[in-house]
Amino acid sequence: MKFEDSLKFARQLDRTDPLRSYRSSFKIPKIKGKNSVYFTGNSLGLQPQSTSQYIRQELDDWANLGVEGHFHAKRPWLYYHRLAKKSLARLTGARPSEVVAMNQLTVNLHLMMASFYQPTKSRFRIIAEAGAFSSDQYALETQLKWHGLDPSNALVEISPRAGENTLRTSDIVNTIIKNGDSLALVLLGGIQYYTGQFFDIKKITAAAHNVGAIAGFDLAHAIGNVPLSLHRDNVDFAVWCSYKYLNAGPGALAGAYVHEKYAHDRTLPRLAGWWGHDEGERFQMKKGFIPMPGADGWQVSNVPIFQAAALLSALELFDNAGMSALRKKSVQLTGYLEYWLQKINADNRYFSIITPDDPKQRGCQLSIFMKGHGKKISDALLRNGIITDWREPNVIRAAPVPFYNTYEDVYVFATTFKKEIDKLKW
């Protein structure tokens, strides 16, 4: 599409947007009494209008039924973990038995590594991207130390080439091949949180398997943002949070995926809990852990119902809109933002976009690497009712989310951004 730099053009795109009605399904934060331009769904998604209703139902069932809510609530609590399966399977390109909503992201990562990272004397290394989100960094560091290994030797971190901002798939694959004999696990983000790069999950997984290693992914910035096909790509395991693009609320219930080839493998080591035990015998309190088949066997505790209710309210919107339609709008909406940024920065004087320019290698986030005045401009945007995400040392992350952001939002962001740039000396 050929974009134009006018408010009239932005509003015309909004009028013809097939997803335009979904904006009213979310609560838009206000600044100075007016709707904000909220470009921070990559950090915390907005609250669906239906969330309070979903949680209210559980509060009422608790009040009216007490413990009997486990069996007689509108959505019986005993089987609550099943309710998100089909939706999560569609979002991750998995089978319902391969996914489960549970715990928090880092807890799930530790649980997955307890099963899938089993270092030996000869095969012990982990490959990750340099500068991974700190939850991944700390999990990897402490897992290695737990096994008595030195992270400086056992952890191989891949950095972009000199003068580049993102990783080349060929460099990731070559690093896997180079460390093949000693490699136990490849663990990358699906989308790199700082640059917004969407990794080639299929090629990376195949490369890991070719050398006999396990492939796992942190999908915190990918799920609900980009199309995923975990089962078809033969990914071994994945974890995610639900408070970003999934819009399930702060500290929301997270999730995990385990490929069905492990569904009935009771020999896998795991850190077990009673909710992962065979459902038919769970309340018999017998000794001897018998895992439920599939991802359910990695559950440790019973479902936090209020958090799960918030997740269900958001997943219902994804089911109705469809990831294909959301992705189509996302590509165009992010493309419109990119068009404006290139127009503002035609001589590359003020900033650079460090997110890949190929839509297939990114989601809706564009990371703007400021060449000066970054924090000052970020603060000025907020004073003007525009919420973006500042990341040290010098990046403004802007994420126009297709569910609730508009083309007019992009226009307002871009024109305000330019106005604030023009106020400063460069």
Q: Are residues 174 and 307 in the same domain?
A: yes
**pLDDT of 217-227, one tens digit each?**
999 999 999 99
**SS3 state at 418:** helix
Q: Answer yes or no: is 290 within a domain.
A: yes
* CB distance 356 to 197 below 8 Å: yes
22 and 153 within one domain: no
266, 151: one domain:
yes
Residues 6+ apart with CB under 8 A from 60: none
Report d(CA 302, CA 393) in Å as an integer. 40
CA distance 87 to 85: 6
- Claim to verify: residue 338 and residue 299 sit in the same structural domain: no
Residue type, 382: L
Count up the domains in the chain and report the number: 2
Last residue of a domain, one of 266, 284, 319: 319
Contact status, residue 135 vs residue 109, Cβ threshold 8 Å: yes
Let me know whether 309 and 343 are in one domain.
no
CA distance 327 to 74: 33
Q: Chain-centre distance of CA 263, in angstroms?
A: 24
- Residue 138 within a domain: yes
Confidence of residue 232 (pLDDT cuts 50, 70, 90): very high
Angle value at C-alpha 230, between 228 and 127, nearest 5 degrees: 100
Single out the residue in 288, 319, 350 at which a domain terminates: 319
Instruction: Say which DSSP state 396 is in.
Output: E
Q: Convert the pLDDT of each residue in 346-374 to its tens digit.
A: 999 999 999 999 999 999 999 999 999 99
Q: Is 43 within a domain?
A: no
3-class DSSP state for residue 63? helix
Give the per-residue pLDDT at 372: 94
% residues pLDDT > 90 (the chain) = 97
Q: Which stretch of 164-173, 281-290, 383-392 has the lowest confidence by average pLDDT?
A: 281-290
Q: Does residue 2 fall inside a structural domain?
A: no
**Cα–Cα distance measured from residue 414 to residue 388, given in angstroms and rounded to the nearest whole number:** 12
Closest CA to 244 of 268, 257, 226: 226
CATH number at residue 17: 3.90.1150.10
Residues 39, 388 contacting (CB under 8 angstroms): yes
CB atoms closer than 10 angstroms to residue 424: 12
Looking at 289, 319, 349, which one is the last position of a domain? 319
Q: State whether 310 and 335 are in the same domain.
A: no
* 268 in the same domain as 389: no
- Residues 50, 101: Cα–Cα separation, whole Å: 19
Average pLDDT, integer, range 268-287 = 92
Query: How many CB atoms sit inside 10 A of residue 209's CB?
Result: 16
Element containing residue 156 per DSSP (H, E) = strand 155-158
Q: Is residue 46 part of a domain?
A: no
Token pair of 348 as six digits: 């590359």
Examine residue 71 and state whether it is found in any structural domain, yes or no. yes
pLDDT of res. 283: 87
Backbone region of residue 285 per phi and psi (left: phi > 0; alpha: psi in -120 to 50; beta: other values)? left
**Shared-domain flag, residues 305 and 197:** yes
Other C-beta atoms lying within 10 Å of the C-beta of residue 79? 12
- Give the range of the structural domain holding residue 407, as residue numbers without chain letter: 7-35+322-422
Residues 148 and 296 in one domain: yes
Closest C-alpha to 343, from 3, 1, 27: 3
- 178 SS3 class: helix
pLDDT in tens, 7-40: 999 999 999 999 999 999 999 999 999 999 999 9
Q: What is the pTM of this model?
A: 0.96
pLDDT per position as a tens digit, 73-114:
999 999 999 999 999 999 999 999 999 999 999 999 999 999
| Same domain as 303, residue 177 | yes
CATH number of the CATH domain containing 305: 3.40.640.10
Tell me, yes or no, whether 328 lies in a domain. yes
- Our measurement of the distance from residue 284's CA atom to the centroid of its chain's CA atoms, rounded to an integer in Å, reads 37
The length of the chain is 426
User: Is 49 a member of any domain?
Assistant: no
In 182-322, which ranges are continuous DSSP H helix? 201-210, 305-321
Output the pLDDT for position 425: 85
Do 59 and 160 share a domain, yes or no? Answer: yes
User: Quick check: bond before 393 cis, omega within 30?
Assistant: yes
277 and 261 part of one domain: yes
